Structure 1
Amino acid sequence: MVGTSLLDRLRHRQDSRAVLGRAARLTLVASVVFYACRYGAGSSVLATYGLFGVVATGSFARLPGPASQRARILLLALPVVWALIVAGSLLAWSTWAAAGGMLVVGFVVAFAGVGNPRLVGLASAFQLFYILASFPPYQPGTLPQRLGGVTFAVVLLAAAEVLLWPDPVPVSYRQRLTRAADGVAAFLDDTADTLTDRACGRDGSRERAYDAVAALDLARNPPEWAPTAAGAQDRALRTCAAALREVLAEADRLAADAPPEPIPDLDAARLLRACAATTRAAGRDLSPGAPPVDLGDLDAAIGRAEMAYPGGVGRAAADVARLCRDATALALADSARVFAVGTRVAVGARPDGGDAYAGLFEYAHRRPWTLYRRQFLSHLAPRSAHLHSSLRLAVALAVARVAAGVLNLTHGFWVLLATLTVLRTSAVDTRVALRPAVLGTVVGAVVSGLVMFAVDDPVVYAVVLPITLILAFGAGGLLGPLWQQALFTVLLTVVFAQLSSEGWRLAETRIVDVLLGAVIGVLAGVALWPRGASRDLRRNAAGYLLASGNAVDRIVEAVLGAAAHPGPAVEDVRRRMILVDSSYCQFRSERHDPGRQPVSWDVVLSAGHHVVPGAESLLRRNPPGCLADWPEAAALLRDTARHLHSAYGDLAGAVANDRAAAPMPAPSDCVDGLNRIRPLLGAADPASVRHLVEVDRWLAGLASSLARMRPSAPVESHQG
């Protein structure tokens, strides 16, 4: 039955070849390390730490990138591994000292993932190195052997990553961004054709563009691949994704407002084609060796479009629809230029200080330490899901270390390993992980005990070690958590049968240790933030939406000359965006109650995600005070902003209190909004008309994102 199940998994899992290749690589490296250290050098300490180094970095770690990058990460991580082993070895003299160190190490290692997602994949491995070293016997004199065994294992594994059956490289975020840029550029070309010839079809380019841009959502990318690091390049990639979403949204609006009759040589169509060419070239700029994108053609097209718009007082009164289309095209071009500058920053360049967009990329001129400090401070907040997860894990591991020390367990590190295996970010996920961990351990221990009771020759276990390794790394990964835990238990038995003489009682010890660790993990999962990211997401999203509504109000008051620059309000939205994105990424990784009707958090959060990039673009073209002398326009914009502020507040209340949000009426389009004051346009200053059109169409875009949300059920609860 196991063989049939394994064959079924091999047929249906697309990554089965990669899993087996990784298993073969780890088996070969682990066998060489263990045999060389245990039988070649005759040292059980070298063998223990060498084999553990392969298991921790090869099986527990999740590393991004191609084989060469993973090998480089392993080698760069060695100093951290040494420091953790030294710390654990020196604190092993006392249970309480080791537990205190576990509390600090557990939190710091887990929380470090806030600053760089590459550390997320290494977090479990780092914790395991400290755990192993922090248990008795207290023998500081064995430190050279401990460090030597781990170093030998990591270096050999790094070489094997490159030379032996390297894993296939998944699509990186940069490649996804390049594909999305190509898709959006194709849609821009089709939209430009539609503006000049209504008979032109788009041939599915809109749907393909939306699919490609949707793949950029952080929650749809593995944590070790998502660009969530605090560094300038990752921040630039996030800026590029936001700019590309704005380009697509503006292009969609422009396509929907295309004139019923073709307008040859429309300025907006020419500008769209220039945007398409620049967007496509900028996307390819993210590929290694690609030349920097040239912004000259786009800047020239923007200059021509600005000179032709609005073109005079008479035209402003007569052709409101044309004004709205031109305003949308210019806003689109602004976002396309942001995307192009962002790709330059993402490959390591710095924006020109005199560029109008340099302020948006001010972080490119900051020191990395400053950027990391800002990101860590943003997550040191009571509602940070990442902070909660890090504290939960650190406390659970510290309690497990105290329990193992007080009970004087021979293999106490198995207790902490079980806690680390069972504990998840929510009580629901912890409960799901508990059954395979416990049942798998029991099955593996029973099998191991029977085998050890019948066979007492270490030579036999030395011979079968490679078989148990390939089963634990390969078959276990394909058959699921229960079999993985069972086969891993058998592997540990085979290894320790060659290191000690405990016999079949080793299996009994394994069961007791895992049960204790599982109980501690379950208690921590139930007692500390058991709902995982669900509640944090609701609270963070509510605060984010309220801040977005406040920022909209401040921006409108600023362009009307009634308030100071809205920079602090926009910065507040950006700071809250970091928290809500982190909560959402963790939320997407958790299980939830299938009986509840989920709401589309993508749509909820997009209502806020359009505020910051759109506001920055708007303020670059429409500085504070630009409409200060037009009271009729002020009345129109304040009325719209008031309704938007109220809608953001209602949505925030619905998210926070688990109730349905009031439906938002479909907003009037740009033309209808300006038609209300059409008699005023004839005598208005052309520049003021342009500012009014651009501010009004930005507000209409925000209203459209809110109008898409009509939940028929409470927003979300997801009890866990």
Structure 2
Amino acid sequence: MGAEKDVSAGRGPSRVVRRAIRTTLCACGAFYVCLYGLDRPVAATYALFAVVSMAALSRIPGTGEQRAAVLVRTLPAVWVLLTAGTYLAVRTWAAVAGMLVIGFAIAFAAAAGPRAAGAAPGLQLLYILPCFPPYLPDTLGERLGGATFGLVLLVLAEKFLLPEPRGTTYRELAAGAADAAARFAAELGRAPYTLPAAEVESARKIGESLRPLHVEEAERPAGPGLRDRALSHTGLGARTLLGRLVNLPPPPAGQSPLKTGLELLEAVGRSAAETGARLAGTGRATDEAGALRRLREEVREAAEREPQPVTEVRGRRRAALLEVADAAAAFATAAELAVRGRRAPPPPAGTDSGRFWYAGRLAPRLWWHRLAAHAGPRSVYFQNAVRISLALAAVRTVAGVESLPHGFWAMLAVLSLTRTTVAQTRATVRQALAGTLLGALLAAGILALVGGHTHVYAVVLPIVMLVAFTVGPVRGVGWAQGMFTLVVSFVFAQLAPVTWRLAGVRLMDVIIGSMIGVVFGLLAWPRGAQSELHRAVAVLLAREAETVERTTAAVVAGRRDTAPDDRALQLALSLAESAYAQRQSEPRAPVAGAPDWQAAMITGHHVLWGSRRLLARAGPDLGPGNGERLSGRADGVAARMRAAAQRAATAPPDHGSDGGVAASAEPAAGPGGRVRDPEVVAPSEFFAAQTWLDSLTADIERVMAPCRAAHQAGSAEQAGSSARAAPPDRPRAA
């Protein structure tokens, strides 16, 4: 593995040292008890490798207590995998078929979130370990007992030995955002009815802190369960509410805001404060969110009952206030689901119930929904699972046909060295082979010198293991492979008589496993998430454009649709988010002119939520010319989205091009992305749709901002180069 970030510096031993101490004590303790205390070499082997697989090979995020909880939940899966591996080892074809199916299933489970992804490599190793001859089903009891003993020790050590302080949780971050939203709502309810620049910057920073990229992996709400889904929506709701408050247009100059608008802002502030208290665990059983929803409906119904259309200034502000109220209500609903889970009351009927479709659903159904969404070649989780299962099956075939001694070492090399891009795999393999070669030479010398004096290996093993698990994560994969070669050599030297040739077998296995990993890394999606991210975001932006056009057409025609079919947009959003998450773990050079991927995904949520809200509220005819005006506005936004999709799907253009942003018929936007239309009078539905399109215009501006910045920088550089290359002016003739 690569270098691991030390997040506990200054608070006692680093996280790497804590993990190394726990792993060494549990692995060696379980190994010695079973081998020397109980005289059970099979149980000793499985006890040691169970600890190593789940503590060293796995990378389960979080504190020791969080990892202990994951280990307890995975223990039944360990028993199933050990049993399946034991019985499938009887024939090579059965072992290979099991490697394809079970290996794929374990790797594909990474779609369930960071904890499942972190535990997957260790579970793979625990299935691989019994999947090799000798075929000894009568030792299954010892295998299960040894692995269980080792994992129980590891659970206790994770929970009680050298505990780690927990960082800021996502709920705490969302609670802070709720308190800020309540403060901003109170500020907007007082003259001059705008936020000062310092508060605008504060809102931006708070919103950025809720981006998953800026949150510790263990605290990211990325799982398929109800609470994780709700907490993810809580963060999105908080960011949306802050953005809506920051961009709230002030009342007309020289006029006081309407009383209903001030009351709505007060209700938003009270609801946000209640939501923050609920997330922090200090709230009382009040219903400020319910009061906000009722007031929101009263304001909306009053707008619909108005006998005459309203002016643009009044209509825009009221529509923006209703957007703020919708965001605050969604934020409150998501927070309640995140805190109370299935005990939370069902979301109110209408747009909220569609938004939170997962409320009240059982965990198996939610897991199936997540896995089914990624069961296709366009998902990076599916691609990774295919790559690793094919490589493991190939190694198992070679080991079975060629009777490869200690063949599971070759499969361990595939697990620990194969990366999501072929370039990264090649670089890792080069370092690993160099480290393994040096480790094998040192191990061969020690084995030849010490011979069969097993007590020497017993004394040295804990020291070597502690160094291996301390130095490896910090110094890189070369050191890790070299030190681990010493560890396995000293382990097997205690289980059976060995010679210096064992080190050569280890080197040969690592070479075979590494080469097979490189081959399948080259054949199966060699660029990892890079190309998939471009394609997925391009598809997402195209789906957004289609939804914008379809929704606007429904508003213009006055059609209502409380259950729109937006599954294509949801699927595109899910695939884009997973590709983006994997891309963050891959080495990458900054690409000048690439869109803001995260902004594109946030735009997808805004399109999805706004579309449902408008379709549920579609009303009467919009008045003379307003339908055409709104349709033209939507066409302009959709054109920008399609231009951004084309830009995302292609490589960064030369600096002399237009940056991939096509011109559109959309009117010029004013400050904050709002289009300066002529003064119009129209029903409230017109201004609700107009405000939605305004916010999407601002979103697309954020998506394409890096492209325009790169284009401007390239144009300036090209102009400078041309000026330097131009010959000096000749003096004029007299």
Q: Give the alignment's TM-score, normalised by structure 1.
A: 0.89
Q: Which residue of 1 aligns with 2:88?
A: 91
Q: Which residue of 1 aligns with 2:608?
A: 612
Do structure 1's residue 488 and structure 2's residue 450 form an aligned pair? no
Do structure 1's residue 632 and structure 2's residue 609 form an aligned pair? no
Q: Deviations over 1:175-222 (max 9, x none)?
A: 3322333344444444444644x6x745x3322332232233334446
* Contact 2:310/2:683 (<8 A) preserved: yes
* Contact 1:117/1:224 (<8 A) preserved: yes
Which residue of 521, 532, 535 corresponds with 1:536?
Answer: 532
Do structure 1's residue 28 and structure 2's residue 30 form an aligned pair? no
Quick check: 469-478 or 632-641, which moved more? 469-478
**3-state SS of 1:254 partner:** coil
**3-state SS of 2:165 partner:** coil
1:427–1:331 distance in 2 versus 1, CA, 3 Å:
same
* Contact 1:310/1:316 (<8 A) preserved: no
* Contact 1:254/1:325 (<8 A) preserved: yes
Deviation of 1:309 after TM superposition, in Å, equals 5.5
* Contact 1:118/1:225 (<8 A) preserved: no
Q: Which runs of 5+ in 2 are unaligned?
A: 654-658, 713-734
Q: Which residue of 2 aligns with 1:718?
A: none
Q: Deviations over 1:551-571 (max 9, x none)?
A: 111111112226673844533
Q: Distance in 2 between matches of 1:635 and 1:594?
A: 42
Deviation of 1:496 after TM superposition, in Å, equals 1.3
Quick check: 544-553 or 169-178, which moved more? 169-178
Do structure 1's residue 386 and structure 2's residue 381 form an aligned pair? yes
Deviation of 1:343 after TM superposition, in Å, equals 1.0
Deviation of 1:282 after TM superposition, in Å, equals 1.1
Q: Which residue of 1 aligns with 2:202?
A: 208
Q: Which residue of 2 aligns with 1:248?
A: 242
Q: Which residue of 2 aligns with 1:509?
A: 505
* Contact 1:444/1:487 (<8 A) preserved: yes
**3-state SS of 2:72 partner:** helix
Q: Which residue of 2 aligns with 1:226?
A: 220
Deviation of 1:173 after TM superposition, in Å, equals 2.7
Which residue of 263, 272, 279 corresponds with 1:286?
Answer: 279
Q: Which residue of 1 aligns with 2:70?
A: 73
Q: Distance in 1 between matches of 2:590 and 2:701?
A: 27
Q: Which residue of 1 aligns with 2:102?
A: 105
Q: Deviations over 1:215-273 (max 9, x none)?
A: 33334446654323222222222222222222122112116x46555837865444334
1:565-604 alignment, distance < 5 Å: 565=561, 567-593=563-589, 598-604=594-600
Deviation of 1:43 after TM superposition, in Å, equals 1.6
Q: Which runs of 5+ in 1 are unaligned?
A: 1-5, 682-687, 716-720
**3-state SS of 1:96 partner:** helix
Q: Distance in 2 between matches of 1:605 and 1:354?
A: 26
**3-state SS of 1:704 partner:** helix
Considering only aligned residues, what root-mean-square deviation do their CA atoms show, in Å? 3.1
Deviation of 1:432 after TM superposition, in Å, equals 2.8
Q: Which residue of 1 aligns with 2:473?
A: 477
Q: Distance in 2 between matches of 1:544 and 1:15?
A: 46
Q: Give the alignment's TM-score, normalised by structure 2.
A: 0.87
* Contact 1:444/1:486 (<8 A) preserved: yes
- Opposite residue 676 of structure 1, the aligned amino acid is P
1:131–1:651 distance in 2 versus 1, CA, 3 Å:
same
Q: Distance in 2 between matches of 1:649 and 1:446?
A: 59
* Contact 1:555/1:566 (<8 A) preserved: no
Do structure 1's residue 643 and structure 2's residue 639 form an aligned pair? no
Q: Which residue of 2 aligns with 1:691?
A: 685
Q: Which residue of 2 aligns with 1:161?
A: 158
Q: Distance in 2 between matches of 1:649 and 1:159?
A: 54
Do structure 1's residue 350 and structure 2's residue 347 form an aligned pair? no
Q: Which residue of 1 aligns with 2:430?
A: 435
Q: Which residue of 1 aligns with 2:445?
A: 450
* Contact 1:23/1:474 (<8 A) preserved: yes
Q: Distance in 1 between matches of 2:613 and 2:227?
A: 21
Q: Distance in 1 between matches of 2:674 and 2:220?
A: 41
Q: Which residue of 1 aligns with 2:647?
A: 654
* Contact 2:6/2:15 (<8 A) preserved: no
* Contact 1:438/1:515 (<8 A) preserved: yes
**3-state SS of 2:235 partner:** helix
Q: Distance in 2 between matches of 1:644 and 1:144?
A: 65
Deviation of 1:615 after TM superposition, in Å, equals 2.2
Q: Deviations over 1:528-558 (max 9, x none)?
A: 1001111111221111111111111111111
1:261-410 alignment, distance < 5 Å: 263=256, 267-288=260-281, 290-292=283-285, 294=287, 295-299=289-293, 302=296, 306=300, 316-317=310-311, 320-347=312-339, 348=341, 349-352=343-346, 354-356=348-350, 357-410=352-405
Q: Distance in 2 between matches of 1:458 and 1:134?
A: 27
Q: Distance in 2 between matches of 1:570 and 1:422?
A: 40
* Contact 2:104/2:385 (<8 A) preserved: yes
Deviation of 1:375 after TM superposition, in Å, equals 2.1
**3-state SS of 1:133 partner:** coil
Quick check: 530-539 or 283-292, which moved more? 283-292
Q: Which residue of 2 aligns with 1:667?
A: 669
Q: Distance in 1 between matches of 2:301 and 2:605?
A: 31
**3-state SS of 2:356 partner:** helix
Quick check: 144-153 or 281-290, which moved more? 281-290
